[in-house]
Chains A and B, each alone.
Chain A
Amino acid sequence: MAHLLLVDDDGDIVEALAELLRVEGHEVRTACNGEQGLQALHAAPLPDVVVLDVDMPVMSGPGMAHQMLLHDAGEEKIPVMLVSGRADLPQIAARMGTPYFVAKGSTFEKFLYMLDRALRERLAPSSA
């Protein structure tokens, strides 16, 4: 059971994914762009993983991740998982410094696999 924050401007995706994750036993909060995502972050409790879309209005996924880094100062290093339909997703993830990403349109099983890896990093940070 983990606390998750989902950030995506596509309402349909967020709704379906949130439901699926709740059935898996997770606590899920959602936001529809990077700015709202930052606000949701600061509402306790802190999530264990943030699942981020890349292209969003107002503030993008990378934009939000950057803000998280600035305010984090290395304290609460929350793993970020990128989800996007972009062909250059691997490069964006590499630039952001996160190994966790999955292409939109992949199966939910693949999503869970990647989420699981991110959660394990969160639970055992010393092994990172």
Chain B
Amino acid sequence: MGEQDRLSTAAQTPGRLAWLLVTMRDELLHRWTTRVLDDPAVPDANRLPRPALEDHIPELLERLLKRLARHPDEPWGERVGREVGGSGVGIAHARQRIALNYTLPEALRELSLFRVTVLSVCAEHDVTLSRDEAELFHATIDEMMTTSASELERISRRMYEQLMAVVAHDLRNPLNTITFQAARLKRGALDEPEKAGETLARNAKLMERLIGDLLTFSTLQAGHLAIEAADVDVREIARHTCEQFRPIAERRGIEVSAAVPEREVRVRCDRDRIVQALGNIVANAVKFTPDGGRVGIELDADGSECVFRVRDTGPGIPPEHIEDVFRPFWQAEPNKKGMGLGLAIARGIVEAHGGEIGVERAGPGATFMFTIPYGAVPSPSASLPPPAPSEHR
């Protein structure tokens, strides 16, 4: 609806609410965004540029206007019933907020603030709502809140189901090996016990790592990741990770190395969490590096922050997906095994330390890097980046 159409619709609408919504439109949006940005219950709003923040609010205003416009003898309830695609605005808005990592209380609070904004502007301009106007106004906002809530809930449930399916799938592979090795033992079909023991240990360890990742993902999802900081010489982390992956990489002829400075590199951090983060990045590098390639871990202590780098000789990442790689469930090759959570978890852990993570070089031959401030200040509730869009099916 263009500005002229809005004005003429409002002029023909009984009561003063419609007129106010059209003539004070910009003022309403401005006041609302100010309230939202100032509200401590909506912290995620401060990350957004103005257009993203406003999102579907202008459409909500249009809907209100259309509903208010009626013949004097037509009850508004019937007109609302005639509306086609009524809940579209609520669903689209909810999906946008979810993609921006909003929580349900935040999304609802924004809409509640919208209600308050309109009512306070009405009061300032001595506009008293008729009973019909009030019913219609509140019902429309309530409807949008309900739709948003349902959509957020639906997507949450889907994410949970997908996570469970992925976990089951990925744990079943190493479990399968363990089951079959047990069968071999039972049947006396084992001529190299040491090799079998090594295989069992490796697959059990893989299951342990997957379960650890699952628990971390769940904690990050809830915004509860706690960082237990201590003074750590992080060179040990680089070396440990190298040792951890060497046996796995060697089976495919991949060389894993670690380059660390000669002197101590003391960083205040949660050692086990950084090990987890670095391990996930290296696991990813090994997975995507062809047989006979190289994966190098580097620790750089020259700058104002401590920097970890992982370089591989794999095919690299398509430039359009550089941001996607850190999203939960995103996978470069859909048929490759793996939960698609490793890098998302790494990001959550790094950011909880106040650091940054990214793709320094997209490839061919990718380089992943992350920084940790020396006197890292852990953030109280680190959370995950939003899941990849294909998730919202």
- Residues from chain B with Cβ under 8 Å of A108 in the complex: 179-180, 183
Given the interface contacts A57-B333, A60-B335, A105-B179, does A19 sit within 8 Å of B184 by beta carbon? yes
- Residues from chain A with Cβ under 8 Å of B202 in the complex: 12
A15 to B164, CA, bound (A): 28
Among B171, B173, B181, the most chain A Cβ lie within 10 Å of the Cβ of B173
Q: Is the CB of A10 within 8 A of B184?
A: no
- Residues from chain A with Cβ under 8 Å of B150 in the complex: none
Shortest Cβ distance from A23 into B: residue = B189
Given the interface contacts A9-B337, A57-B335, A57-B336, does A85 sit within 8 Å of B173 by beta carbon? yes
- B377 contacts chain A at the CB level, 8 A cutoff: no
Q: Mark A75-95, 1 if CB is under 8 A from B, else 0.
A: 000000001111110000000
Shortest Cβ distance from A110 into B: residue = B179
Secondary structure at the B interface, as helix, strand, loop or mixed, is helix
- B96 contacts chain A at the CB level, 8 A cutoff: no
A108 to B335, CA, bound (A): 25
Q: Is the CB of B173 within 8 A of A10?
A: yes
Number of A-B residue pairs, CB cutoff 8 Å, is 75
Shortest Cβ distance from A15 into B: residue = B199
- B125 contacts chain A at the CB level, 8 A cutoff: no
Q: Is the CB of A104 within 8 A of B335?
A: no
Which of chain A's residues 17-52 have a Cβ closer than 8 Å to chain B?
17, 19-20, 23
From the candidates A13, A20, A83, A87, name the one contacting B165 in the complex (CB within 8 A): A87
Given the interface contacts A19-B184, A55-B336, does A12 sit within 8 Å of B177 by beta carbon? yes
- Residues from chain A with Cβ under 8 Å of B181 in the complex: 16
Q: Mark B276-316, 1 if CB is under 8 A from A, else 0.
A: 00000000000000000000000000000000000000000
From the candidates A20, A60, A88, name the one contacting B189 in the complex (CB within 8 A): A20
- B168 contacts chain A at the CB level, 8 A cutoff: yes
- A96 contacts chain B at the CB level, 8 A cutoff: no
Given the interface contacts A10-B173, A104-B175, does A23 sit within 8 Å of B187 by beta carbon? yes
- Residues from chain A with Cβ under 8 Å of B171 in the complex: 85, 105
A10 to B336, CA, bound (A): 11
- B44 contacts chain A at the CB level, 8 A cutoff: no
Among A23, A86, A104, the most chain B Cβ lie within 10 Å of the Cβ of A104
A87 to B162, CA, bound (A): 10
A19 to B186, CA, bound (A): 13
Q: Distance in Å from the Cβ of A22 to the closest Cβ of chain B?
A: 8
A84 to B169, CA, bound (A): 8
Shortest Cβ distance from B177 into A: residue = A12
Q: Mark B153-169, 1 if CB is under 8 A from A, else 0.
A: 00000000000110011
Shortest Cβ distance from A33 into B: residue = B335
Given the interface contacts A12-B177, A55-B335, does A104 sit within 8 Å of B172 by beta carbon? yes
- A106 contacts chain B at the CB level, 8 A cutoff: yes
A11 to B173, CA, bound (A): 11
- Residues from chain A with Cβ under 8 Å of B183 in the complex: 16, 20, 107-108
Q: Distance in Å from the Cβ of A14 to the closest Cβ of chain B?
A: 10
- Residues from chain B with Cβ under 8 Å of A56 in the complex: 335
Given the interface contacts A10-B177, A20-B184, A57-B336, does A105 sit within 8 Å of B172 by beta carbon? yes
- Residues from chain A with Cβ under 8 Å of B180 in the complex: 13, 16-17, 20, 108
- Residues from chain B with Cβ under 8 Å of A9 in the complex: 337
Shortest Cβ distance from B176 into A: residue = A104
Q: Distance in Å from the Cβ of B371 to the closest Cβ of chain A?
A: 32
Q: Is the CB of A87 within 8 A of B169?
A: yes
Given the interface contacts A20-B184, A85-B168, does A13 sit within 8 Å of B335 by beta carbon? no
Given the interface contacts A55-B337, A87-B168, A104-B172, does A13 sit within 8 Å of B177 by beta carbon? yes
- B356 contacts chain A at the CB level, 8 A cutoff: no
A19 to B185, CA, bound (A): 11
List 10 A–B pairs whose Cβ atoms lie within 8 Å, in order of A's numbering.
A10-B176, A10-B177, A16-B181, A20-B183, A85-B170, A85-B171, A85-B176, A104-B172, A105-B176, A107-B179
Instruction: Given contact pairs A20-B189, A86-B169, enumerate 18 new A-B contacts (beta carbons under 8 Å).
Output: A10-B176, A10-B177, A13-B177, A13-B180, A19-B184, A20-B183, A20-B184, A23-B187, A55-B336, A57-B333, A57-B335, A84-B172, A87-B165, A87-B168, A88-B165, A104-B173, A104-B175, A105-B179
